[in-house]
Amino acid sequence: MATKQPSREELGSELEQKSAEVRILRQVSSDINATLDLQEIYEIVLRTMDELFGFHHALILLVDEDGENLRVVASRGYEGQTLGGVVPMGTGLIGVVAKKRRLMRLTNLGRQRSYIAAIRKQMEEAGRSAELEEAPPVPGLPDVESQIGIPLLIKDNLIGVFSIESAEQKMFSDRDEILVNIVANQAASAIHNARLYRAEEARRAELAELNQTLEDRVRARTAELERANRVLRETQAQLVQAGKMASLGMLVAGVAHEINTPIGSIAANTDIVKRAAEMVKQRIEAADVPADLAKDPNLLLAIETLQQASQTELLACLRITSIVKSLRNFARLDESEEKSVNLHEGIDSTLTLLVHELKKGVEIVKNYGDLPNVVCFPSQLNQVFMNLLNNAISAMEGKGTIAITTERDGEHVVLRFTDTGMGIAPENLDRIFDPGFTTKGVGVGTGLGLAICYRIVQDHHGTIEVRSEVGKGTEFTLRLPISR
């Protein structure tokens, strides 16, 4: 019996259909390969199945990192089902397709479900429920009748499964299987490329973050080293200053020892000469000597000159004694521990040592309040007073007024040193306590004086602040706890 040949109309219709399918497949290929966004790829594939081929229910599942399960990453046409559903390898059509890595097409799935349900019921009625494993829920249509599962492969590497479902029996033809397989292969390639791109982007982002973290760590480490270096310089400066003060203490001790004895003898002899001159004058005035001698003007002038010289020598001895005492009081190097001291005495001793600078035209105004004794290292605070006063004298070029104001503020004492000097430029105020910074010019200052002051005050758990106006003067405020 001869086979009926298709008519020209039928051949034309089939050709037109195939041409349309080719155009669709080309368009799908172009669309999914034009993007590296996974969500866009999923949407293109699922939309193509629904709108162009009439397959309204489709799932895309990818293999988990553990390689034991497939997870739903995109779906279309399912109500009430969320993404993330899991299918174990080997379970259901999807799991079997993944395990065997080949396309499978099934129909009459309702009969299989009915058969399995009947077997389970019989086993339960026979008391063999313990032998039954709990059936894991599988994503998809609950009343599926026809299904195609296509493995998504890159060479021999399984990346997932593409599943098309229908509630109708014998929904899918051989041609449908071919079309779905072509789209699935293109989808697999696009998904693989997009995942590689995403992994590369993640690697770059991680590398950029690591670089940023490394830069942050380098900056933090550099800042830490700079802080350590600054502390080291400050400590070295303090050690140098401490060495100078120690040398000064030894010098003071030697000078005091060498000067005290002779100055005591000079003071005693001067007092004797003064008394002897007074006795001679009294005897002359008592007329116990010849009249011509008593009225001798040269003798009387000599006696008066001797008395004035003796008085001047006594004042000089007292002055020398006062200077030595102030020097010892300023250094206080025999006091290596904290002591409760009167800060006014330390300021006064410092002023005594600076008297030669003050004589050039600097007026000192003392506004001393009622201060309690303060627990501190006296020699260190005296060093602060010396540095602040020296800076004030330099800023005024030897002429002006320094006001020293003290007061108690709760559990603290406040000391203010105000001068009428040239002031400090605003751009330098934040730097004046930095080691090495100086406005005195090259070779004039070391830039360590205020840095040492700042560190000493910090070590005493206090604060030091500065307020200045160019052309009007500067004020340093020390705030120290009374006890620590």
Secondary structure (DSSP) of 33-55? TS---HHHHHHHHHHIIIIIT--
Based on the fold, state whether residues 67 and 159 are members of the same structural domain.
yes
Based on the fold, state whether residues 266 and 380 are members of the same structural domain.
no
Whether 1 shows a pLDDT value over 70: the answer reads: no
Based on the fold, state whether residues 467 and 364 are members of the same structural domain.
yes
Asked whether residue 164 is assigned to any structural domain, the reply reads yes
Lowest pLDDT segment from 110-114, 210-214, 313-317: 110-114
Q: Which amino acid is at 119?
A: I
Which of 278, 311, 334 is at the close of a domain? Answer: 334
Strand order of the β-sheet with 69-76 is: 86-88, 69-76, 57-63, 157-166, 146-154, 104-106
Asked whether residue 368 is assigned to any structural domain, the reply reads yes
Residues 6+ apart with CB under 8 A from 251: none
Based on the fold, state whether residues 52 and 125 are members of the same structural domain.
yes
pLDDT of residue 403: 95
Higher pLDDT: 280 or 287? It is 280
Residue (of 256, 396, 420) closest to 334 by Cα position: 256
Residues 6+ apart with CB under 8 A from 192: 154, 159
What is the average pLDDT value for the chain, to the nearest integer?
A: 79
Higher pLDDT: 266 or 251? It is 266
Whether 182 shows a pLDDT value over 50: the answer reads: yes
Asked whether residue 351 is assigned to any structural domain, the reply reads yes
Asked whether residue 218 is assigned to any structural domain, the reply reads no
Based on the fold, state whether residues 147 and 60 are members of the same structural domain.
yes
Residue (of 241, 229, 240) closest to 434 by Cα position: 229
Asked whether residue 352 is assigned to any structural domain, the reply reads yes
Based on the fold, state whether residues 297 and 399 are members of the same structural domain.
no
What would the two tokens of residue 65 be?
């990192």
pLDDT in tens, 343-366: 999 999 888 888 877 877 899 999
Residue (of 152, 164, 148) closest to 57 by Cα position: 164
Mean pLDDT for the stretch of residues 8-18: 64
pLDDT of residue 29: 74
Q: Which pLDDT band, with edges at 50, 70 and 90, does 401 fall under?
A: very high
Higher pLDDT: 90 or 320? It is 90
pLDDT of residue 442: 40
CATH of the domain at 56: 3.30.450.40
Based on the fold, state whether residues 358 and 372 are members of the same structural domain.
yes
Which of 167, 202, 237 is at the close of a domain? Answer: 202
CA atoms within a 13 Å half-sphere pointing along the CA-CB vector of 223:
6
Q: Cβ(370)–Cβ(406) under 8 Å?
A: no
Percent of the chain with pLDDT over 70: 77
State the Cα–Cα distance between residues 192 and 32, nearest whole angstrom. Answer: 12
Going through 155-304 in order, the beta strands assigned E by DSSP cover 157-166
Q: Which pLDDT band, with edges at 50, 70 and 90, does 333 fall under?
A: very low
Question: How many separate domains does the chain show?
Answer: 3
With residue 404 as reference, give the H or E element that holds it: strand 400-409
CATH of the domain at 414: 3.30.565.10
Asked whether residue 52 is assigned to any structural domain, the reply reads yes
Based on the fold, state whether residues 142 and 90 are members of the same structural domain.
yes
Based on the fold, state whether residues 110 and 197 are members of the same structural domain.
yes
Based on the fold, state whether residues 396 and 427 are members of the same structural domain.
yes
Based on the fold, state whether residues 45 and 177 are members of the same structural domain.
yes
Asked whether residue 214 is assigned to any structural domain, the reply reads no
Which of 318, 334, 350 is at the close of a domain? Answer: 334
Q: Cβ(203)–Cβ(195) under 8 Å?
A: no
Range of the structural domain that residue 112 is part of: 12-129+138-202
Based on the fold, state whether residues 113 and 186 are members of the same structural domain.
yes
Asked whether residue 208 is assigned to any structural domain, the reply reads no
**Strongest mean pLDDT among 214-228, 232-246, 292-306:** 214-228
